[in-house]
Chains A and B, each alone.
Chain A
Amino acid sequence: MREQIDVAIIGGGPAGLSAAIELKRFGVKQIIVLERESEAGGIPRHCGHYPFGMREYKQLLTGTQYAKKLVRSAIKAGVNILTSTSVIEVKQGGTLAIVSNQGMREISAKRVIYATGVRETPRAARLVSGSRPLGVINTGALQAMVFLEKQKPFERPVIIGSELVAFSAIQTCKHAKISPVAMIEEAKNVTAQWPIQYYTKLAGLPLHLETKLTKIISDESNIKVSAIEVENSKGEKQIIECDGVIFTGQFTPEASLARCGHLQIDDATNGPIVDQYGRCSDPVYFAAGNILRPVETSGWSWNEGRQIGHIVANDLAGKLPSPDNFIKIITASEIIKYAMPHKLSLDNNRANDIKNGMHNGMKNLQLRFTKRAKGYLVASINKKEIYRKKLTVFPEKRVLIPMQELTDNANAKQIILSFEEI
């Protein structure tokens, strides 16, 4: 007999664990968190640096401390966490094939929450030229080496990219006494809004803006990195000697399980297509945390997990509107990288929905932009403008639009979002 449970949560990071705790709080009984690593906690597990936990615990913690605290809270709430357990297949209607050291089995859940997080884009998918030696890794791998295994793969790496995670890379290097030799960023400006204290610490690290990594160079045996070649906006090339390369950021949801399964995927977020309840194209599946979109902090993901946990509890109690009646959200300007959620599910009595704040789904539409620009963000229904706001947008910086501002027209089929640059 296949095991029958109420909710299966795939992934035991901040979003998955907080969803589980919230479900417990609302009286849902059988909840299993499936975690493929040998310990739950997710990415924060190997972030041995600050700051974590402010939102959740009102404490300043390292990621490692925070992950442990999260797991303890979940266990205390009575959540069943299965570690070293991988989901290998998801099926229509909530059946999951899972595998552990004991072999394979199936479980069947009334609802499933995807909380599989994000990862950085590796070197290969960026098509970077050059040879393929050791010591070319993402920040995530570096953090796990340094904080979990107490090892370091290089002494003098270059750091590619300047998203917030690049600062985690710097801190991780500092911890292991690794001395980065340069930070390379293709854009005119640093992507992350720099926390000022790092500015000074960074003083010793040369920052190459408007510079593209053009080649990874290795020794004759192709085993070790010896240098990189970069090119600036004037087309001038420069060789920077180093012994490793850290590719930071360019996050992408770890949605391969969903992709290889049956859910519809959005090519913009690379996560599942969801409504404001985080509900996927198969309505027994939900998503929470960074699988929804790249990328937010663990605090944000934790909060989102909590919210989706509450929503799923409501859904089990029959309190969610049908997924069949919805308004589509469409982005019409290339500068808009993505908008999430992708649709708004509404009850038959749409006007009511709008008045009631749409059953406590996500309050805001989340947007990201591909570059820095000034202009007007415009939403329209049937060519009629319903929202206009003057904005300066930055790459990788979230823009939120309150849902209620978008839905004054109860008969709309779709909302079109565009950005008029000025």
Chain B
Amino acid sequence: MSMNSNNMNSLSLSPMTSDVFDIIVIGAGVVGCAVARQFTLEGAKVAVIEKASDILDGASKANSAILHTGFDAPANSIELSCIKSGFEEYHKIHKQLNLPIEKTGAHVVAWNDGEAAKIHGILSKAHDNGISDAKMISAEQLLIKEPNLGKNAQGAIYIPDEAIIDPWSAPYAYLKQSIINGGQIFLHTQVLGGDFDGDIWEIKTSRGTIKSRHIINCAGLYGDELNKILLGDAKFEITPRKGQFVVFDKVSAKIINSIILPVPNNRTKGVVLCRTIFGNLLLGPTAQDQKSRTDASTNEQDLQELIDIGIKKIPALKNMPITATYAGLRPATQFKEYQIETKPEKNHLTIGGIRSTGLSSALGIAKYVYKLYEDMGLKHSKIKNPKLPESASILAQDGKRDWQKENHGEIICHCEMVSEREIKAALKEPLKANSLAGLKRQTRVTMGRCQGFYCSAKLSQMTKGLFENPIAKDITKNTHDAKDIQS
């Protein structure tokens, strides 16, 4: 394909349609993907609209990749019930969708007397929240299980069922299951406005008009703005909360076994240390409120402070090589509780303020919202034998990886062991990668220790003509007499 061709063509977007959908989900983050899956499987005709060229481009692109049990969620909250049912649903479907999970367990560690006093409250809360196997363990027991922890650990609450998962392949699988069962995705499509005539919504987008009976706002960081555009006002206001993370080299993953959680304060869960399903060690997040909904920049000083916190907890981190740093924005609001609301008179549902537990609760939120939809007197007939998406490769370090199988082609990304076959698959529909960021989330290319030193050039070649924003452009022939290349 020539680079002179219209770049938009290279995105191969689905054409706009005059069909009337039952549901339009606005926003393809983890919540939007789970909601699309739920409604599709319930028999609704679903479209998902996403303003970015790939899904998971907002809050869902960066999190701590933990599947929480809900042990510390606010009592009697929607958040708690959604985390619990989301946790349960993930366990039910992960095998058929070929999604990895590793039950590492978590320790909420008390590092001083004040925290030691507080963890009793955390334990009784866990029990109240139905996590009955949570238990207190002594400093001695803790250090037997986690011998590399700093010696000032005073004891911990152990929650056996906390687990780590792949934060990207899960929502990809949810949306792919929606798509192969009739759901549609419109990428690179931003909502500009909309009219509701009492029966049907006509949504104006950057790529034309699209119609639906109901709207579900899953716009994450833009949830309040979207409600202002479509409903005229919003009941909540998003204040993005930035979380910066440091990813340590795979060599460091063996220094801890479980998820090491701090005693949380009112505002955040605090700094977590855990392995990732990909075999790294993750440290973060920070919690910094900001105005910008796009500024996911990292800051050297913050990262250094984060590393110092990490070293205090696990001294062996000191000489561990750093693989990556990143930041994510969580869509926090002025409320602690999720902002899930229905406007039956407007055929409108909002799922807002899903802060830091969205990955755990998404499948639960989807069920809960479908129930609200039914309560509005609406019903479809469930798809009888829903199809399963062709399973993507498991990217988990301990999973059966594609490179272990024959005919994978070459290994392109050596740090993360991503095969040529995996990359080619991610460049095909459904949900083909339209950007390097999308390709990274689907395959992990360039996310390892060399950060693209070895494979960027090959990737640039393999994705030539496929991305709106290419990794690199052709050096035109007249640029230079390239004799010495040929030698």
Which residues of A approach B to under 8 Å, CB–CB? 36-38, 46, 48-49, 62, 64-65, 68, 84, 86, 88, 99, 101-104, 119-120, 122-125, 127-132, 134, 137-138, 140-141, 144-153, 175-177, 214-216, 220-224, 252, 254, 256, 259-260, 267, 270
Measured between beta carbons, the chain A residues less than 8 angstroms from B449 are: 256
Contact of B471 with A134 in the complex, beta carbons under 8 Å: yes
Contact of B298 with A125 in the complex, beta carbons under 8 Å: no
Which residues of B approach A to under 8 Å, CB–CB? 247, 249-251, 294-301, 303-304, 319, 321-326, 403-411, 414-415, 417, 435-436, 449-454, 456-458, 460-461, 464, 469, 471-475, 479-480, 482, 484-485, 487
Contact of A68 with B487 in the complex, beta carbons under 8 Å: yes
Q: What are 28 sample pairs from A and B whose C-beta atoms fall under 8 A apart?
A: A36-B411, A46-B457, A62-B484, A65-B484, A99-B404, A101-B408, A103-B404, A103-B406, A104-B404, A119-B454, A124-B322, A127-B300, A129-B300, A129-B301, A131-B297, A141-B456, A144-B454, A144-B456, A145-B457, A148-B457, A149-B460, A149-B461, A151-B471, A153-B460, A222-B294, A222-B296, A223-B435, A256-B251
Measured between beta carbons, the chain B residues less than 8 angstroms from A150 are: 474-475, 482, 485
Contact of B321 with A224 in the complex, beta carbons under 8 Å: no
B453: contacting residue among A122, A131, A176, CB under 8 A:
A122
The distance from the CB of B413 to the nearest CB of chain A, in whole angstroms, is 11
Known: A86-B414, A252-B321. 20 other contacts (CB 8 A): A36-B414, A46-B457, A48-B484, A65-B487, A84-B410, A84-B411, A86-B411, A119-B454, A122-B451, A125-B323, A125-B451, A129-B301, A134-B469, A138-B453, A144-B454, A145-B472, A175-B480, A177-B475, A215-B297, A221-B294
Measured between beta carbons, the chain B residues less than 8 angstroms from A101 are: 406-410
The distance from the CB of A86 to the nearest CB of chain B, in whole angstroms, is 5
The distance from the CB of A157 to the nearest CB of chain B, in whole angstroms, is 12
Chain A minimum-CB-distance residue to B306: A127
B295: contacting residue among A36, A131, A259, CB under 8 A:
A131
Measured between beta carbons, the chain B residues less than 8 angstroms from A62 are: 484, 487
Q: Given the interface contacts A127-B303, A127-B322, A127-B325, does A134 sit within 8 Å of B485 by beta carbon?
A: no
Contact of A260 with B472 in the complex, beta carbons under 8 Å: no
The distance from the CB of B356 to the nearest CB of chain A, in whole angstroms, is 21
Q: Given the interface contacts A137-B456, A149-B458, does A48 sit within 8 Å of B325 by beta carbon?
A: no
Report Cα–Cα, A62/B485, bound state, in Å. Answer: 9
The distance from the CB of A224 to the nearest CB of chain B, in whole angstroms, is 7
The distance from the CB of B22 to the nearest CB of chain A, in whole angstroms, is 32
B472: contacting residue among A120, A152, A224, CB under 8 A:
A152
Report Cα–Cα, A120/B474, bound state, in Å. Answer: 24
Report Cα–Cα, A64/B319, bound state, in Å. Answer: 36
Report Cα–Cα, A68/B323, bound state, in Å. Answer: 32
Report Cα–Cα, A36/B407, bound state, in Å. Answer: 15
Measured between beta carbons, the chain B residues less than 8 angstroms from A145 are: 456-457, 460, 472
Q: Given the interface contacts A149-B461, A224-B469, does A130 sit within 8 Å of B298 by beta carbon?
A: yes
Contact of A176 with B469 in the complex, beta carbons under 8 Å: no
Report Cα–Cα, A125/B295, bound state, in Å. Answer: 20
The distance from the CB of A209 to the nearest CB of chain B, in whole angstroms, is 20
Chain B minimum-CB-distance residue to A69: B487
Contact of B487 with A151 in the complex, beta carbons under 8 Å: no
The distance from the CB of B129 to the nearest CB of chain A, in whole angstroms, is 36
Contact of A176 with B487 in the complex, beta carbons under 8 Å: no
Chain B minimum-CB-distance residue to A99: B403
Chain B minimum-CB-distance residue to A220: B294
The distance from the CB of B300 to the nearest CB of chain A, in whole angstroms, is 5
Closest A-B pairs by Cβ, 7 of them: A144-B457, A122-B451, A151-B472, A153-B472, A141-B456, A145-B457, A131-B297
The distance from the CB of B320 to the nearest CB of chain A, in whole angstroms, is 10
Report Cα–Cα, A93/B406, bound state, in Å. Answer: 27
Contact of B480 with A64 in the complex, beta carbons under 8 Å: no
Report Cα–Cα, A413/B250, bound state, in Å. Answer: 35
Report Cα–Cα, A214/B298, bound state, in Å. Answer: 11
Measured between beta carbons, the chain A residues less than 8 angstroms from B324 are: 124
Measured between beta carbons, the chain B residues less than 8 angstroms from A215 are: 297
Report Cα–Cα, A338/B384, bound state, in Å. Answer: 67
Chain B minimum-CB-distance residue to A153: B472
Residue in A132, A216, A267 with the greatest tally of chain B CB atoms within 10 Å: A132
Measured between beta carbons, the chain B residues less than 8 angstroms from A144 are: 454, 456-458
Contact of A176 with B475 in the complex, beta carbons under 8 Å: yes
Report Cα–Cα, A49/B415, bound state, in Å. Answer: 27
Measured between beta carbons, the chain B residues less than 8 angstroms from A127 are: 298, 300, 303-304, 322, 325
Measured between beta carbons, the chain B residues less than 8 angstroms from A176 are: 475, 479-480
Measured between beta carbons, the chain B residues less than 8 angstroms from A103 are: 404-406
Measured between beta carbons, the chain A residues less than 8 angstroms from B415 are: 256
Measured between beta carbons, the chain A residues less than 8 angstroms from B417 are: 86, 88
Measured between beta carbons, the chain B residues less than 8 angstroms from A36 are: 411, 414
Report Cα–Cα, A256/B457, bound state, in Å. Answer: 21
Chain A minimum-CB-distance residue to B468: A223
Measured between beta carbons, the chain B residues less than 8 angstroms from A122 are: 450-453
Contact of B480 with A151 in the complex, beta carbons under 8 Å: no
Report Cα–Cα, A99/B419, bound state, in Å. Answer: 11
Contact of B456 with A132 in the complex, beta carbons under 8 Å: no
Report Cα–Cα, A123/B323, bound state, in Å. Answer: 10
Residue in B324, B472, B474 with the greatest tally of chain A CB atoms within 10 Å: B472
The distance from the CB of A99 to the nearest CB of chain B, in whole angstroms, is 6
Contact of B407 with A123 in the complex, beta carbons under 8 Å: no
Contact of B457 with A124 in the complex, beta carbons under 8 Å: no
Measured between beta carbons, the chain B residues less than 8 angstroms from A124 are: 247, 322-325, 451
Report Cα–Cα, A256/B280, bound state, in Å. Answer: 13
Chain A minimum-CB-distance residue to B295: A131
Report Cα–Cα, A223/B249, bound state, in Å. Answer: 26
Report Cα–Cα, A123/B484, bound state, in Å. Answer: 30
Chain B minimum-CB-distance residue to A125: B322
Report Cα–Cα, A208/B419, bound state, in Å. Answer: 41
Report Cα–Cα, A120/B452, bound state, in Å. Answer: 11
Contact of B403 with A141 in the complex, beta carbons under 8 Å: no
Contact of B250 with A260 in the complex, beta carbons under 8 Å: yes
Contact of B294 with A48 in the complex, beta carbons under 8 Å: no
Measured between beta carbons, the chain B residues less than 8 angstroms from A120 are: 453
Report Cα–Cα, A420/B150, bound state, in Å. Answer: 36
Report Cα–Cα, A128/B301, bound state, in Å. Answer: 9
Report Cα–Cα, A313/B258, bound state, in Å. Answer: 46
Report Cα–Cα, A127/B482, bound state, in Å. Answer: 36
Report Cα–Cα, A119/B452, bound state, in Å. Answer: 11
Contact of B474 with A38 in the complex, beta carbons under 8 Å: no
Contact of B480 with A134 in the complex, beta carbons under 8 Å: no
The distance from the CB of B415 to the nearest CB of chain A, in whole angstroms, is 7
Q: Given the interface contacts A137-B452, A176-B480, does A149 sit within 8 Å of B457 by beta carbon?
A: yes
Q: Given the interface contacts A125-B323, A175-B480, A259-B251, does A151 sit within 8 Å of B475 by beta carbon?
A: yes
A151: contacting residue among B300, B301, B435, B461, CB under 8 A:
B461
Residue in A68, A102, A151 with the greatest tally of chain B CB atoms within 10 Å: A151
Report Cα–Cα, A267/B296, bound state, in Å. Answer: 32
Q: Given the interface contacts A101-B406, A119-B453, A141-B452, does A129 sit within 8 Å of B298 by beta carbon?
A: yes
Report Cα–Cα, A150/B469, bound state, in Å. Answer: 17
Measured between beta carbons, the chain B residues less than 8 angstroms from A68 are: 487
The distance from the CB of A259 to the nearest CB of chain B, in whole angstroms, is 5
Residue in B247, B299, B300, B453 with the greatest tally of chain A CB atoms within 10 Å: B453
